[in-house]
Chains A and B, each alone.
Chain A
Amino acid sequence: MEKSLKIAIKELNFFYRDFKALTDISLDVYAHEVTALIGPSGCGKSTMLRCLNRMNDLIPYSRVEGRILLNEQNICDPDVDVVSLRRRIGMVFQKPNPFPKSIFENVAYGMRVNGIKDKAYIAQQVETSIKAAALWDEVKDRIHESALGLSGGQQQRLCIARAMAVKPDVLLMDEPCSALDPIATQKIEELIHQLKKTYTIIIVTHNMQQAARVSDITAFFYLGKLIETDVTDTIFTRPKLKQTEDYITGRFG
């Protein structure tokens, strides 16, 4: 299958006040692949992820240098409309964070704020998204009940459905399973497999087995630098650098 370039990160630096959180990151992300960002806590992998939908704009005194090209458009440009950018790049957070609204309203939210008023379209899209998130059978009878009544794993799948309902190009997942039990984690991982047919997925994880299971490409971050990136199988079996090998085999971290 021919690979098409989705996101190209070029010499990216990220500063928080005087602290340089990311140094010279260059990374290519291809469409319909799962790219995993791994590394010890505080290595900058979440910061990297949050650069991709400009979520870091919310942090005061932060600054970005370099370029991130999404479909060849630089999204770091101050002129970029972050609001529509974030519609195109969905995000799933570490902890499930449904709004205190009904299941239906949670999924419909993104469409509503984006100005869609067609009720039939919204209803149909909600159903499609929840089905795509493999949650439909579990919630179809209580779709108008509060989302806070769902289990953690269900909530996280709801958040994925919510992200998909606005039809993004790319899905960012920031340790989406860290707050979940193994069974819920397995369901999300299966879901990721399904979703990569439609989306380009970038996932941050501290769990290396998970990276090995779900991703096609793995990028190893350490102290704000991108140390090594390669096809996942290669990274986990024959890493080129000693540092990567040490981390993967658990000799530090």
Chain B
Amino acid sequence: MEKSSHTGKSRYRTEKIIRITFFCISLASIATLALITIFLFMEGLPIFKEVSVKDFVFGQYWYPTDEPPDFGIFPLIIGSLSVTGVSSLISIPLGVLTALYLAESASASVRQWVKPVVELMAALPSVVIGFFGMVIIAPFLQEVFDVPTGLNLFNASLMLAFMSIPTICSISEDAIFSVPTELKEASLALGATKWETISRVILPASLSGITTAIILGMSRAIGETMVVLMVAGGAAIVPTSLFDPVRPMPASIAAEMAEAPFRGDHYHALFATAVVLFLFTLLFNLAADHISHKYKQVGASTL
């Protein structure tokens, strides 16, 4: 005791200061989120002096550089939703089935190789995938399906699916993996096959986690920029076929921002588009968060 150099009180004060400092730093993320919201609204709201919210969101025509300009982002919203929808038709089954493969049926040595593959898929820069879709997939589609352009909704969905599979797969796998072993063993011990155990015990128990994974995967798809900028074709129309070119919101923002006059109507309209996009992803993320918290309990009680 005589060798201790700190007194209790000064120690407490130091500890308290450290704790408070860390707390303040940990607020950085939420503060940034708030700043993003504030600045998007600040730069986006002025457009509503020119057009009403209703005309902006439901307007059929996006001709921002015409005289007079049209600021209707309905085709852009439909563009975003359609690529997200079509891509999830591909990514959900592939992502979830791969997760099941990794968690339940692959041997340890196979798993050791497949898992990094999924991680590498997630790590591929979006501009590279966009580039690949442009120079390899587009000509291929054009030829095989005999369509006027290979840069279209289908191509973009394909590339987006590739980008959201890793998200869906890894989060689903976590959920599947966290189902207690006792449950699995109980089912197997009763004579169920592995697949019966998966379909009757494991899937119901991990359903909320898989749902979260799917929502986050879709959120990734709707917000992805470079892929849709490079391969979606860029036509601001409501698509009528799978091979129509579309112009999702992120593509429109990224393509036009550089040319929009600073703080002109076009500039504000692009920020307002970003607000809509931001709200979409916020909605997806809040839904995912809600589901994963509400049904956090994995186990017997969720069956």
Q: Does chain A touch chain B in the assembled complex, meaning CB atoms less than 8 Å apart?
A: yes
Question: What residues make up the interface of A, taking CB atoms closer than 8 Å to B?
Answer: 81, 83-84, 87-88, 111, 114-116, 118, 121, 167
Stretch at the interface among B6-14, B62-70, B198-206: B6-14
Question: Do residues B4 and A84 form an inter-chain contact, with CB atoms below 8 A?
Answer: yes
The smallest beta-carbon distance between B8 and chain A, in angstroms, is: 3
Question: Do residues B3 and A116 form an inter-chain contact, with CB atoms below 8 A?
Answer: yes
CB closest chain-A residue, reference B5: A115
Question: Do residues A114 and B4 form an inter-chain contact, with CB atoms below 8 A?
Answer: yes
Answer whether A115 and B6 are a contact pair too, CB < 8 Å, given A81-B11, A81-B12, A83-B11: yes
* Inter-chain contacts of B3 with A (CB < 8 A): 111, 114-116, 118, 121
Which B residues, 1 to 58, have Cβ-Cβ distances below 8 Å to chain A? Answer: 1, 3-6, 8-9, 11-12
Question: Do residues B5 and A83 form an inter-chain contact, with CB atoms below 8 A?
Answer: no
Which are the 3 A-B pairs with shortest beta-carbon distances?
A81-B8, A115-B5, A116-B3
Answer whether A88 and B1 are a contact pair too, CB < 8 Å, given A81-B11, A81-B12: yes
Measured in the bound complex, the distance between the Cα atoms of B154 and A63 in whole Å is 60
Give the secondary structure class of B's interface: loop
CB closest chain-B residue, reference A79: B8
Question: What residues make up the interface of B, taking CB atoms closer than 8 Å to A?
Answer: 1, 3-6, 8-9, 11-12
The smallest beta-carbon distance between A20 and chain B, in angstroms, is: 24
CB closest chain-A residue, reference B11: A83
The smallest beta-carbon distance between A123 and chain B, in angstroms, is: 14
The smallest beta-carbon distance between A138 and chain B, in angstroms, is: 28
CB closest chain-B residue, reference A88: B1
The smallest beta-carbon distance between A71 and chain B, in angstroms, is: 12
Measured in the bound complex, the distance between the Cα atoms of B3 and A88 in whole Å is 13
Question: Do residues A84 and B5 form an inter-chain contact, with CB atoms below 8 A?
Answer: no
Measured in the bound complex, the distance between the Cα atoms of B6 and A81 in whole Å is 11
CB closest chain-B residue, reference A82: B8
Interface centre among B4, B5, B12 (most CB of A within 10 A): B4
* Inter-chain contacts of B11 with A (CB < 8 A): 81, 83
Question: Do residues A115 and B8 form an inter-chain contact, with CB atoms below 8 A?
Answer: no
Measured in the bound complex, the distance between the Cα atoms of B3 and A121 in whole Å is 10
Contacts A/B (CB < 8 Å), 14 sampled: A81-B8, A81-B9, A83-B11, A84-B1, A84-B4, A87-B1, A87-B4, A114-B4, A114-B5, A115-B4, A115-B5, A115-B6, A116-B4, A121-B3
* Inter-chain contacts of A114 with B (CB < 8 A): 3-6
* Inter-chain contacts of B12 with A (CB < 8 A): 81
* Inter-chain contacts of A118 with B (CB < 8 A): 3
17 further A-B pairs in the complex, CB-CB below 8 A; given A114-B4, A114-B6: A81-B8, A81-B9, A81-B12, A83-B11, A84-B1, A84-B4, A87-B1, A87-B4, A114-B3, A114-B5, A115-B3, A115-B4, A115-B5, A116-B3, A116-B4, A118-B3, A167-B1
